[in-house]
Structure 1
Amino acid sequence: MELLKKLYKVYSPSGKERTMIKFIWNYTKRITGTKVETDAAGNLYITKGEAESYPCIVAHLDQVQRLHSKDFTTVETGEIIFGYSSRNKRQEGLGADDKNGIWIALKCLRKYDSLKLAFFVSEEVGCVGSGKAVMDFFNDCRFVIQPDRRGYQDIVTEIGWTSLCSPKFLQAAGYKKFGYRETHGMMTDVQELKERGLQVSCINLSCGYYEPHTDHEFTIKKDLMSCLSLVEHIIENCTDTYPHQTEILDGRWRSYDEFDEAVDEIFALLDQGELWSIEDLYYMYHSVFPKLDMEDYQRIYTEYYNLNKIEYGKQKL
């Protein structure tokens, strides 16, 4: 876990990813046979080996958390890793969303002879980097994997109204053997790439981080390792190219699902007992739930406190 801990210590808020870019650049140049390129937006593109087609992993470089003290350190206890400042006596977010994805990508870069990686800036503020990506980089990719989903069992095959991958790719991926289940997800870079014309199958995978976008964020190591194992399985077994044309799906019920998912996540955050304003919630989650506006956050906030008043009243009775 030493590489992972080093990544966690690099503070990379949206728009200020330079330190992370430098870290990855220096790490990558020590790996034989790799070529590193960048673009005007600051995205990184890495190619290892010579091949007719490549597996491809993407991740984003930025994080949401505003707290990152000079004495920030990682604490590893059993299966859990979290961030902590001794001087300030507080837990601080790891930026595991999406440093866990970066870690998986770099582990695979060490292991495989031919691979492509892309690391995007400013995903958390609206997929800015992938919106300016050099799309020709993906012309010889067989598929694109993004490990950028909280939890441990989701394989995202639809985002919003956009389908991401073909049934043939899903069958070849063998994800069920790793305890994963198919679901739909929220805005992230692979959706942006598909909407910009990417012609191969993409997925987004749960990679072991929890309570993202908060200072209580933590990683469960076995869940991260499970994601790495699935990614390695796909690289080793999905040796064909898996074309896929984006389909715009009926999204009427998905809007409700996104609100419902936001309720679950924000309620869990508020249950921790800290005081958050509606503006705080909007700042933390607007990139995760892009369909929701400030009125939706007001509604969730009000529903939470109304519900807790009811529960408090029941306890008194």
Structure 2
Amino acid sequence: MELLKKLYQIYSPSGKERAMTKFIWDYVKRIPGVKLETDKIGNLYITKGDAESYPCIAAHLDQVQRLHSKDFTAIETEEIIFGYSSRNKRQEGLGADDKNGIWIALKCLKKYDTLKLAFFVSEEVGCIGSGKAVMDFFNDCRFVIQPDRRGYQDIVTEIGWTSLCSPGFLKASGYKQFGYRETHGMMTDVQELKERGLQVSCTNLSCGYYEPHTDHEFTIKKDLMNCLSLVEHIIENCTDTYPHQAEIPGRRRGIYDEFDEATDEIFALLDHGELWSAEDLYYMYHSVFPQLDMEDYQRIYTEYYNLNTIEYGEQKL
């Protein structure tokens, strides 16, 4: 976990990813057979080996958290990793969203002879990096995997009514043997790539972080390792190219709209018993649900406590 903890130590808020970029650049250039490129906006493109087609992993370089003290330390226990400042006596977020994805990508880069990686800036403020990515980089990719999902069991096959991958890719990935399940996801870079015309299958995977965008964020190590194992399995077994033309229709019935997605996400957060205000929720999630305003967060906040506070005389259940 030493590489992972080094990544957690680096503070990389949106628009200020330079320290993370430099770390990755210095780390990667020591690996033989690797070519590094960048673009005008600051995205990193890495190619290892010479092949007709490549597996590809994507991750984003930025994080949301405001707190990151000079004495920030990533504390590792037997089961979890969390961030802490001794001087300020408080827990601080790791930025595991998406440093866990960066870690998986770098681990695979050392292990495999042929691989492509794409690291995007400013995902958390609207997928700005992937929105301006050099799309030709992906022309010889077999598929694109982005480990950038909280929890431990989600393989995202659709985001915002944009389909991401083919049935053939899903079958070949073998995700079920790793305890994963298909689900719909939220805005992230692979969605942006598909909407810009990416012609191969891609997906977003749960990679072991919890309570993202908060100062209580933590990583469960076994869940992160399970994600790494799934990514390695896909690289080793999905040796064909998996074409996929994204379906980008209008809104479809049966799919949550952005308000419903936000409600599910925020209800799950509030169920942990932490005391958050509507303003806190807006700060944490406005980049994920950009169409929602403060009034929407107040509605979700009020609805949660109305549902969970039932009064019988002086007793509350």
**What is the TM-score normalised by the length of structure 2?**
0.95
- Residue identity matched to 1:45: Y
The one-letter amino acid paired with 1:63 is Q
For residues 28 and 313 of structure 2, the distance between their equivalents in structure 1, rounded to whole angstroms, comes to 58
For the residue of structure 1 that corresponds to 2:22, the secondary structure is helix
Structure-2 residue corresponding to 1:192:
192
Partner in structure 2 of residue 230 of structure 1: 230
Q: Does 1:102 align with 2:81?
A: no
Aligned to 1:142: 142
SS at match of 2:147: strand
Instruction: Specify the alignment match of 2:54 in structure 1.
Output: 54
Distance 1:201 1:61 in 2: 22
The amino acid of 2:224's aligned partner reads L
The 2-side partners of 1:205 and 1:273 are apart by 26
On the 8 A contact 1:160/1:254 being kept in 2, the answer is no
1:172 paired to 2:167: no
Aligned twin of 1:248: 248
Count of aligned pairs between the two proteins: 317
In the alignment, the residues of structure 1 paired with residue 154 and residue 253 of structure 2 have an alpha-carbon distance, to the nearest angstrom, of 19
Q: What does residue 116 of structure 2 align with? A: 116
1-structure distance, mates of 2:4, 2:313 = 46
Q: Quote the Cα distance in structure 2 between the aligned partners of 1:98 and 1:311.
A: 41
Q: How does 1:298-317 map to 2 (within 5 A)?
A: 298-310=298-310, 315-316=315-316
Deviation at 1:254, TM superposition (A): 5.7
Q: Deviations over 1:260-300 (max 9, x none)?
A: 44223323434555554433312211222344333321210
Aligned to 1:81: 81
Indicate how the Cα distance of structure 1 residues 312 and 66 shifts in structure 2: closer, same or farther if over 3 A, else same.
farther
Task: Give the partner amino acid of 1:139.
Answer: N
TM-score normalised to structure 1 length? 0.95
In the alignment, what sits opposite 2:30?
30
85 and 228 in structure 1: CA distance in 2 versus 1, 3 angstrom threshold: same
Unaligned residue ranges in structure 2 (runs of 5+): none
Cα distance, 1:301 vs structure 2: 1.2
Alignment deviations for residues 202-238 of structure 1 (CA, whole Å, 9 cap, x no partner): 0000000000000000000000000000000000011
What's the offset of the Cα at 1:304? 2.4
Identical counterparts, % of pairs: 88
Q: Which has the higher helix share?
A: 1
Partner of 2:4: 4
Q: Within 2, Cα distance between the matches of 1:126 and 1:73?
A: 29
Task: Give me the CA root mean square deviation.
Answer: 1.8
